[in-house]
Chain A
């Protein structure tokens, strides 16, 4: 049986993890590779690395980091942040990334999805959608959630699938950072609409939140950052709990 996936997300700034300081057995808390190895040992199913200072100068350093991750990590990983062109993707894929995630650039120019899928295959294109409920409508936001658009999350997810996205990373901005649980509403709607995997994101605070999103929606994976970084939740414990609750995960 295909397992539901648990995906820790690491924010990278100047080649170092922004968060993640609570692991006692970590030699260098700021080194993304060290943190990633802990997650792999705990049973993470995939990893996401987001370059939050994606400038041209940083791109080369980030590619260097991607090479180190690819050399040391034996599970699939996705990288993203500031990807605007097929050339940006090519550098990261050559460095060893399995998938890339695009967000604002895909909203600005949706054909980018087809261009990447055409060259590297749909399986490597993860379209990230940041969405917020505004006047009863799930509106797509870009530029790290600062700028609203005319796009509706559900329509945009369908369009992204049509254009060749292999996966949707769906973040509810209403839930993000609240630790009050994932949005069942938008996760449920998008994951039942599209026929590609959907990763639920935003709001994870307890193990019950993961159970609820897997139980109530057709999402394929759930992503979280801070609860894993600060050692609040061990992925092993989470997966044992989900198994007891009847959710099929890799142990």
Chain B
């Protein structure tokens, strides 16, 4: 069973819809036992880092997430919450990835909204994906490049498009909204 983490973020249903289109069943849950027992956990999200982190802490979900041992996929805000710290509301995050989340400097349109390709690319998530493939982004804060970076994108400056550390995977873009390329990436995750 695939568990999608339920918290105060938008767009959670769209991840479940994407899984249904790929032929996978899933549950949306904030029950720690169900999360621990799942084969895969997806940590989605559109929203604001400060209030989302507060919500997770109040329910003890922060401890549940970092202790997960099965493959976990963070998406967008999910990725950002898996980093050390976010400039958005000066938020201490989960610290799974040793990197920080910063606000884009205002030298071009913000949010970074739309389709963008990759600059570098490696790892299980990107089998069959090429650097010229475009995926959909919408974010005003970006994760810095670090040792855990598995893909990079360039907008205003180079940033982590995806990260991986042990069983934790994360994408700054939205695979569930990235047409067939996104479906391929989700499928790669589900096959890990």
Contacts and interface: CB of A to CB of B under 8 A. Distances in A.
B78 interface: no
Contacts of A167: 113
A94 B17 CA distance: 13
Contacts, number: 87
B6 to A, nearest CB: 13
Given A71-B20, A195-B109, A195-B110, A5 B14 contact: no
Nearest to B112: A2
Interface string B127-160: 0000000101011100000000000001100000
B21 interface: yes
Contacts of A20: none
Interface residues on chain B, size class: 35 or more
A10 interface: no
Given A2-B155, A74-B180, A196-B109, A96 B114 contact: no
Given A74-B18, A74-B182, A121-B47, A195 B113 contact: no
B177 A197 contact: no
A122 interface: yes
A123 interface: yes
- 8 shortest A-B CB distances, which residue pairs? A250-B134, A250-B115, A3-B115, A123-B138, A76-B177, A2-B116, A71-B17, A197-B109
Interface in B69-124: 106, 108-117
Interface residues of A, number: 31
Interface in B1-47: 10-11, 13-14, 17-18, 20-21, 46-47
Contacts of B179: 40, 74-75
Contacts of B138: 76, 123, 166
A72 B18 CA distance: 8
A221 B115 CA distance: 11
B62 interface: no
A114 interface: no
Interface in B150-192: 154-155, 174, 176-180, 182-183
A70 interface: yes
